[in-house]
Amino acid sequence: MVLACLPFAWRDLRLTWVRAALAGVGVGFVIYLVYAELFLVGSICLWCTAVHAVTLALFAAVAFATAARGVPRPR
H or E segment to which residue 53 belongs: helix 46-69
| pLDDT over threshold 70, residue 10 | yes
- Could you give the angle at which helices 46-69 and 16-35 cross, rounded to 10 degrees? 150
In tens, the pLDDT along 40-62 reads 999 999 999 999 999 999 999 88
Q: What are 11-32's pLDDT values in tens digits? A: 777 788 888 899 999 999 999 9
